[in-house]
Amino acid sequence: MNKVICVYSSSSNFIDKAFFDLAEKLGEAIASREDILLFGGGMRGLMGATATAVHRLKGKVIGIIPEALNQKGVVYETCDELVITKDMRERKSIMDARSDAFIALPGGFGTLEELLEIITLKQLKYHNKAIVILNADGFYDPLLHLFDSIIDKRFAKQESTLLYHISPDVDDCLDFIDSYQPIEFKDKWLT
């Protein structure tokens, strides 16, 4: 309990309602477990839906947003704590440092970039925290097929799959985080 969970997700308002339902369910589950949501600080898309759901159940929300995006209509102004950074790199650094675990909801290029960077940082031993890919309705199947191809063609070792957990639903996602035991990496075992 009381884990700070970083959620990467879409800022688009134009995606299917099922993804908004998923984001709301995740937000409600985070709040009901008394965990804390840490996210990119936006009010749009799945970002805003997750934060609103956490607040609806009286949970705590921490937003980290670069000053260029700290604008009315973009920023989730009711964060319990809002950290404004100079740029995206500082934003991600703070998100990484302050989080106990990471969840990737469905999203676009920004979500993919954040997910791949946090996996890479774990591979390089900059952290050893839980990373969960919430693969609801097979959204991430094409990416996971690419991961398989990367491993099949020996750009990464089979053990790389231990860097992240693929979860089909919200409950499995949070149960994995609750029971997560850091992995003991051998020197250069992924290189």
Q: Convert the pLDDT of each residue in 72-112 to its tens digit.
A: 999 999 999 999 999 999 999 999 999 999 999 999 999 99
75 belongs to a structural domain? yes
Q: How confident is residue 1, by pLDDT bands cut at 50, 70 and 90?
A: low
The dihedral sign for the CA sequence 51, 56, 61, 63:
positive
Number of domains in the chain: 1
Average pLDDT (159-188) is 91
> How is the chain split among helix, strand and coil, in percent rounded to 5?
45, 20, 35
The backbone torsions φ and ψ at residue 8, rounded to the nearest 5 degrees and listed phi first, read -95, 135
pLDDT score recorded for residue 183:
86
Q: Round to whole Å and give the CA distance between 175 and 154.
A: 31
- In the chain, the percentage of residues whose pLDDT exceeds 70 is 96
Q: How many CB atoms lie within 10 A of CB 64?
A: 23
- The answer as to whether 184 is a domain residue is no
CATH number of the domain within which 64 lies: 3.40.50.450
Contact yes or no for 124/156 (Cβ under 8 A): no
pLDDT over 90 (residue 25):
yes
pLDDT at 177: 98
Range of the domain at 143: 4-179
Q: Does any domain span residue 187?
A: no
Q: Determine, yes or no, domain membership for 118.
A: yes
pLDDT of residue 184: 81
Listed residue (1, 83, 75, 88) closest to 38, CA to CA: 83
For 50-62, how does the pLDDT look when each residue is reduced to its tens digit (9 = 90+)?
999 999 999 999 9
* Nearest to 79, CA basis, from 97, 99, 55: 55
Asked if the structure places residue 37 within a domain, the reply is: yes
Mean pLDDT over 109-127 rounds to 96
pLDDT of amino acid 187? 58
Answer whether residue 186 is part of any domain. no
**Does any domain span residue 14?**
yes
| pLDDT value of position 146 | 98
Residue 142: predicted pLDDT: 98
Q: Is residue 26 part of a domain?
A: yes
Residue 116 tokens, joined: 């791949």
Helix, strand or coil, per DSSP, at residue 31: helix
The answer to whether residue 152 scores a pLDDT higher than 70 is yes
Alpha carbon 179 to its chain's center: 17
